[in-house]
Amino acid sequence: MSVFAVSPALAPGKAAPYVIAAYIVFLALVLVYVAIMAKRLRSTERDLEALGREIGADRDDERDEVAA
Amino acid sequence: MTTYGRGLRGLSLATIATISTALVLVFFYAPLDADQGFVQKIFYLHVPLAIVSLCGFVFGALLAVGHLRTGDRRWDMRSYVAIHMALIFGVAGLITGSIWAKASWGHWWVWNEPTLVSFLIVLLLFATYQPMRFSIEDPERQARYASVFAVLAGAFVPLNFIAVRLAQQYVHPRILTLGGGNLPGSMRLTFIVALIGIALLYATLWKYEMAAKDARMRVRRLRRAVLGEDALAPLGRSAAPS
């Protein structure tokens, strides 16, 4: 059975929604991926800031001990 | 900047420029296909996505060989990200192909078409990669088993491709052949630019994810080195390499 034989080419007006849908699906997948990665990046930045604060607090404690 | 982050900006700009050029060529330069008309424009997205996805699986297999040879877990991480990205591209290829099939053949899916079914088999095979990793708790064993799986499944990709090419009954048009194919010059140029654009996108996202994972690991190592083992929150069970 030839699938092509029962499906003649669509007119541009009827084909446009399919073409747009295909490109939008691709764009949406890329955007979702980038959004997830951006969220993880923010989480890493927060971890780094927290680590910086903890190191700063430890050094303050050491200075206090030395001063005492 | 981490090793993986190096050159990422240039690569991102090259990707954006190439994909933008490809879009201009697709919609303003490449002629309408005599058979399929406007709907054939999906070809410039769907086929590069499928090709890059399959190449991504093979790339993941090659990186897994690096892990098995050296025992270095960084190769496992690279392989994991390569397969993970290839899966995303594969899903995009499958959805865009399905949309094209509906517009062109009147069906969302055709089960007696070897190209479609074989691509689905490859995708489903690699879809088991992450659950397989998740099922193994010990990180060393997880990495080793995942690498063996990636190599075997990666070897299946070219075998599958050859089997489909040898199949006689198919409705999928044979556009790309070693003899140059059936595309006219303008369509071929557009296709090649689109293929390079999608391949660059894959490379950019792979490097992006590797840079992000590498940064997270560095922060963790730094925390361990500075504050000691007790300062680390225990890692939960994960499919991702740790």
| Residue-by-residue pLDDT tens, chain B, 242 positions | 557 778 889 999 999 999 999 999 999 999 888 888 889 999 999 999 999 999 999 999 999 999 999 989 899 999 999 999 999 999 999 999 999 999 988 889 988 888 888 999 999 999 999 999 999 888 899 999 999 999 999 999 998 888 887 776 555 666 666 555 677 888 999 999 999 999 999 999 999 999 988 888 888 888 888 877 776 766 677 777 77
Tally of CB atoms within 10 A around A36: 11
Which 3 state secondary structure label does DSSP give B27?
Answer: helix
Tokens 């499958």 correspond to what residue?
Answer: B94
Cα distance between the two ends of chain B: 21
For chain B, what are the domain ranges? Answer: 8-172+183-217
Task: Assess contact for B121 and B160: CB atoms under 8 A.
Answer: yes
Q: Do A22 and B99 touch (CB under 8 A)?
A: yes
For CA atoms B96, B101, B103, B107, the dihedral sign is negative
Q: Show residues of chain B in contact with A4, CB under 8 Å.
A: 104-105, 171
- Write the residue in B39, B227, B231 that is nearest to A18 by C-beta: B39
Burial status of residue A33 (CB atoms within 10 A of its CB: 0-12, 13-18, 19 or more): middle
Q: How far apart are CA B5 and CA B8, in angstroms?
A: 5
To the nearest 10°, the Cα dihedral for B214, B219, B224, B230?
-120
pLDDT given for residue A5 in this prediction: 47
Name the minimum distance, in Å, from the CA of A39 to any CA of chain B.
11
For B8-172+183-217, CATH gives: 1.20.120
Residue of B nearest to A41 (CA): B212
Task: Assess contact for B137 and B237: CB atoms under 8 A.
Answer: yes
Q: Show residues of chain B in contact with A29, CB under 8 Å.
A: 88, 91-92
Q: How far apart are CA B211 and CA B235, in angstroms?
A: 20
How confident is the model over A2-26, as a mean pLDDT? 75
